[in-house]
Structure 1
Amino acid sequence: MEQFKHEKRIVMNDDMFADYYDEVTSRLDHYIGKEITVKGFVHKEAGLSARQLVLSRFMITHCIADASLIGFLAEWNGAEQLQPDTWIELEGTLGKASYNGAVIPIIRTKRWKEISEPEQPYVYPAAINMTE
């Protein structure tokens, strides 16, 4: 994690996704303006603009029954054309947005491409990975 905090470019790899996500969301001001690459599936919620979606993963801490949705708000012209549950990889720049009264990260997307669902679509906190 110490190395992650000093990276110029953030790559949200699967084995550390949950921990990196927690770090970025809890210390957002430190990461504003950094380039980021993320893989996930499209999730759309009421209240988002047509240009926005949530690039999501399901995080599991104990068992599949406790899976929770985590992800980054992403924005670009054309996002409205993507269907929910489509897997994509995107690159962009981290910024700040407000959603339902909370300050959250937003990815100002520069590039994206459709990808296949990974063999292991779930993410886990690193401490869980080390004990399995």
Structure 2
Amino acid sequence: MRKNAKIDKQALVECICYLLFAFALLYLVLSGRYLQYVTPRMKPYLLFAAVVLLVWARTAIENLYVVRHRRHCLHCFVLVFPLLMLILPHRSVSVSSVSTPAQSIAAVQTLRGSAAAANLTPQPTAAPSAPATAESSEPVESPETEEQPAATPQPDIADSAADAENIEGTYETTDFLGNATTLHGYDAANRHITISDAEFYTWMDVIWANPADYDGWTLTVTGEVDKASREMDADEFIPARLIMTCCAADLTPCGFVCKWAQADTLATDTWVTVTGTLYQRQYADHSEPQLQVQSVAPAEPVEGYIYPYY
């Protein structure tokens, strides 16, 4: 092909599309917004894709003045549509949008099963978003007359949970790669665990792997109110977090079922901090740890999701 005095429209359109897509990917990666779509382990691949697009753009620039007998620009729309989906504003997915009445807290059961099989505990990370509930910012206490489930008598604090205690207020465990992980919010003296946003996943797996060790303990946890992820009674809800193992298409709610007489006052998708007593309850064909609520307070939404296998 010979050089042309005029700019080739096909090469120009291709160059613009490649550059826009490359800059969009770089923006998503550098701003962290890519975590709304995929897990952190996809970051190198997104950077590689951006570099490839920049190389293509450079090739298109070199062809700007090359004479073409036929011009085809429609293939550029293959990039335009996903580009629009990436740059158009949208909010994080809520719990209710991924929950179905037939769905159970399978995410938690899967964690416990995988941990038992590999004798490992996966690594946690960050989380989702939505507004808070309750009309007051003060914690709502459960009625004193509400029946509390009986906790299994506990041995002295020299059980397997206490054995993992290292520095005061911390708990030593391992992630799914076998790396040592230190969890926080562990108060063995008062049998109380405060689960932080970043350690939600790992604490869930630790407790589900050894539920009897924590029977009768007090837990404080923050999550998004979920009432649809399984068939629950009117006095039940889950302060859930959304787990992403690969991409946004596999988001799954995860959390403890909570028993509370005032559960019907909580709006779905609102954020709350729950404090309650952990106990074992039979559900379907298995026993699972649940919380008997002591108090519920509105909480600030947590941006992002939980990425266990990043």
Q: Which runs of 4+ in 1 moved over 3 A?
A: none
Aligned match of 1:69: 253
Tell which deviates more after alignment, 17-26 or 56-65: 56-65
Matched, 1:15 2:198: yes
SS at match of 1:36: strand
The one of the two structures with greater contact order (alpha-carbon pairs below 8 A, sep at least 6) is 1
SS at match of 1:23: helix
Aligned match of 1:43: 226
Give 1:85 deviation, angstroms: 0.8
SS at match of 2:273: strand
In structure 2, the gaps of 5 or more residues are: 1-120, 122-163, 166-170, 173-185
Which amino acid is the alignment partner of residue 74 of structure 1? C
Give 1:108 deviation, angstroms: 0.8
SS at match of 2:302: coil
Aligned-residue CA RMSD (Å): 1.9
| Equivalent position to 1:86, from 270, 273, 293 | 270
Aligned match of 1:25: 208
| Equivalent position to 1:96, from 280, 283, 303 | 280
SS at match of 2:261: coil
For 2:307 and 2:214, the matched residues in 1 are separated by: 22
Give 1:64 deviation, angstroms: 2.2
SS at match of 2:202: helix
Aligned match of 2:236: 52
Give 1:31 deviation, angstroms: 0.7
Greater share of strand: 1
For 1:12 and 1:123, the matched residues in 2 are separated by: 14
For 1:27 and 1:62, the matched residues in 2 are separated by: 27
Give 1:111 deviation, angstroms: 0.8
SS at match of 1:20: helix
Any idea what the Cα deviations from partners look like across 1:19-69, whole Å, max 9, x if unmatched? 110111121001111110000011113532111111111112232222221
SS at match of 2:212: helix
For 2:243 and 2:235, the matched residues in 1 are separated by: 25
Give 1:90 deviation, angstroms: 0.7
TM-score (norm 1): 0.84
Which amino acid is the alignment partner of residue 287 of structure 2? V
The answer to whether the 8 Å contact 1:15/1:124 transfers is no
For 2:286 and 2:239, the matched residues in 1 are separated by: 18
User: How many residue pairs end up in the alignment?
Assistant: 126
For 1:69 and 1:92, the matched residues in 2 are separated by: 20
